[in-house]
Structure 1
């Protein structure tokens, strides 16, 4: 029997402040580890904020200088992958001996991505998932991921992966993750609606996997004073949480919590997955591939592909001067860099 103690951290970052947010993340990670957690999940866009309520000075056809500066500030507080913030997160995971899954805003040249980073308990950076489909106005500030960053990682306690927020409403993406054998399905989110819990319970039953759903609990005071979200009261709740942990048969093991910042924990018995798949395996004995099939494109899709001429020495030639053969190699020079 394999049992792992999982924790979901429901908290707010320090908006637009990368260093302070990393400090808070470490304190929360230490608290979760002291409660015996071996796997810790943080919310979507925890480093360094989910920009709820911001317009970035935009209406159709017009952008304001103030909105451009909001984006500049957001970009300044985002994360290079690899980079110093990733190194710090890796060191945290190693220091506290936990597997860490955390939502960040990743920057790649001039584009921001809503990304989840994965770290092993020895501090190894395992990889990332970039959100495939930003929702509504998120598309103004976040780019689109591609199929090359949809990993499921083998860990000592099972197969681990993540699907971000409303990606969870994309049934084909869920199917792709089930086909990878995901057992611990992380769902960092910004959705605070009551209906979200029903979706998480459905996914747990559908995939016969444990679902860890993690949202921020954020007040207006967690953001800078000049944060132009239309709310002035520092105690006003901008995101009320609702984090939860669900079993493979849809049982709520912890949460949902709508009261404030908290750390929820649950012991996950991986044998429950096999018990659940006894009567339902959506990519196995309960599938009909003769009727329905899914094709998944996991190739990187960069904006620029650079072709290089490579000079290769040919074999022996009849004349003294060696012949030269020119071949072409190509590589992606932009995008999807780990």
Structure 2
């Protein structure tokens, strides 16, 4: 991989049965990403805490049920406490929260055996922030993940930015929950739309996230472009066929790389979630692979790098895109419905064989030694539960060999609208990535600079309450 290129990645994992299990899965994904030299990894909307697809919390116009209130209680208890406050208009503590400068009151408590005194320091939060920071620090991967965050008495659909060196450097709160999401998620402040910046191998990456249907808000998108971002992140719960065209539009419009991540959720989720990544089932599977000499599946799409740990029990759709952006579905199975790939000798369980993409923006992965699995920190001090609700399949009308509540569809798109990796359909274990040259964002602004010369900002003005739209630097 050329020094000027950065490896960006995404995946489509589903929320696990408990919050500690989901955090363990994040750790496992980050280690796999690190073993494949990934620099930045995006995970889906509401990944920690869960997306309550299909439920209405017992609400109809003018009436709420006791059962629905109990359901909301369970969902609230499953959300994570990152130690933030509600803040003005749902802004949270912003930079004070990032720098850990919020007031931490000492609380009076009954003396218990083992206590060092009758005052307990409120460290603000349940430990989830510290665990995520540990994962980023020990793997060296810049992490962005969706989560359901509680502050005060409200819930926010958030996305957090985790730098391996600096820890938590920022947080988004969704400013406009969609439709029935408004029942349970409060509106976040536009002040949280502030982009963050990091430098990887001398390359400055200015990144910001728009969550799910915020991507359909033209002024919100413009507020991100105006900050001179070159990496646009779109964690989502939308797995419809209309989503990828939107991501291509955003990439062309903002002349930035776009990474989208959506959970792949199996209809028999309870049974599948018992097979958590990094759990006993995976260890047993890896042992079987070593004994039989088999290898993990490589995605045959020439535009996709896919690191997957298990052979799927369903038939996955594989596709490529032609020069006009049309998706071409490829056969990927033999007569028995099994994906056939050649195992690559000398590759360990964590570094999986990939298919080389001969494009200017995406190159093949180099197998790397596995990163040792760090020991998990103490579990966060919440009840460790993840909300579960009835499910309604609104992401696909098609019947597949194994039905899905959400089919995923995570993808990576170039500033010119080319799909570099994905869409990752019906794969809840793989990681897809692309090696990108951020100077392509500048090349694209030769003829289209939405936040500059092309914006006609002498005629059109955009201001955002509480947000400084001053562009971030290039270097």
The equivalent residue for 1:209 is 256
User: 2:22 maps to which residue?
Assistant: 21
Task: State the alpha-carbon separation in 1 of the partners of residues 60 and 427 from structure 2.
Answer: 33
Distance in 1 between residues matched to 2:180 and 2:237, nearest whole Å: 13
Aligned pair 1:176/2:212, yes or no? no
- Higher RCO structure, 1 or 2 (CA under 8 Å, sep 6+): 2
Output the aligned Cα RMSD.
1.9
Structure 1, unmatched stretches of 5+, are 301-338
Q: Secondary structure at the match of 1:149?
A: helix
The question of whether the paired residues in 2 share the 8 Å contact of 1:93 and 1:123 is answered with no
Tell me the CA shift for residue 229 of structure 1. Answer: 3.2
Aligned mates of 1:172, 1:222 — CA distance in 2: 37
Counterpart Cα distance in 1 of 2:35 and 2:247: 27
Q: Which protein is richer in strand relative to its size? A: 1
Alignment pair present for 1:111 and 2:113: no
1:266 has 2:434 as partner: yes
Per-residue deviation, 1:222: 3.0
Residue pairs, 1:300-319, within 5 angstroms: none
Provide the C-alpha distance between the structure 1 equivalents of 2:186 and 2:197, rounded to a whole number of angstroms: 28
In structure 1, how many angstroms separate the alpha carbons of the residues matched to 2:169 and 2:20?
Answer: 22
Q: 2:33 corresponds to which residue?
A: 32
* CA distance in 2: counterparts of 1:188 and 1:98, whole angstroms: 17
Query: How far apart are residue 269 of structure 1 and its match?
Result: 0.6
| 1:176/1:226 CA distance change after superposition, 3 Å | closer
Per-residue deviation, 1:122: 2.0
- 2:414 equivalent in structure 1: 247
1:236 Cα shift? 3.9
Are the counterparts in 2 of residues 13 and 222 from structure 1 also a CA contact under 8 Å?
A: no
Partner residue, 2:44:
43
For structure 2, list consecutive stretches of 5 or more residues without a partner in the other structure.
84-124, 271-385, 394-401, 469-475
Q: CA distance change for structure 1 residues 225 and 22 in 2, over 3 Å: closer, same or farther? A: closer
Moved more, 151-160 or 112-121: 151-160
CA distance in 2, matches of 1:204, 1:5: 17
Residue of 135, 140, 161 corresponding to 2:183: 140
Aligned partner (choices 277, 293, 298) of residue 461 of structure 2: 293
- Higher deviation after alignment, 22-31 or 84-93: 22-31
Q: Residue by residue, what CA displacement relative to the aligned partner does 1:29-56 show, whole Å, maximum 9, x if unpaired?
A: 2112211111010000000211111121
Partner of 1:327: none
TM-score of the two chains, using structure 1 as the length reference: 0.84
Give yes or no for contact 2:52–2:388 (8 Å, CA) kept in 1.
no
TM-score normalised according to structure 2 size: 0.60
| Aligned counterpart, 1:5 | 7
Tell me whether 68-77 or 165-174 shows the greater mean CA deviation.
Answer: 68-77
Judge conservation of contact 1:14–1:222 (CA < 8 Å) in 2: no
Distance 2:235 2:147 in 1: 11
Superposed displacement of residue 62, structure 1: 1.6
CA displacement 1:222-263 (0-9 Å, x = unmatched): 3589733368xxx64111111100001111000112122121
Equivalent pair of 2:15/2:48 in contact (CA under 8 Å)? yes
Number of equivalenced pairs: 296
Deviation string 1:256-282 (CA, Å, 9 cap, x unpaired) is: 121221211111111111110111101
Runs of 4 or more off by more than 4 Å in structure 1? Answer: 223-226
Distance 1:57 1:220 in 2: 22
For 2:180 and 2:14, the matched residues in 1 are separated by 21
- Equivalent residue of 1:267, what SS? strand
What does residue 283 of structure 1 align with?
Answer: 451
**Does the 8 A contact of 1:92 with 1:123 survive in 2?**
no
Shift of 1:287: 1.7
**How far is the alpha carbon of 1:5 from its aligned partner?**
0.4
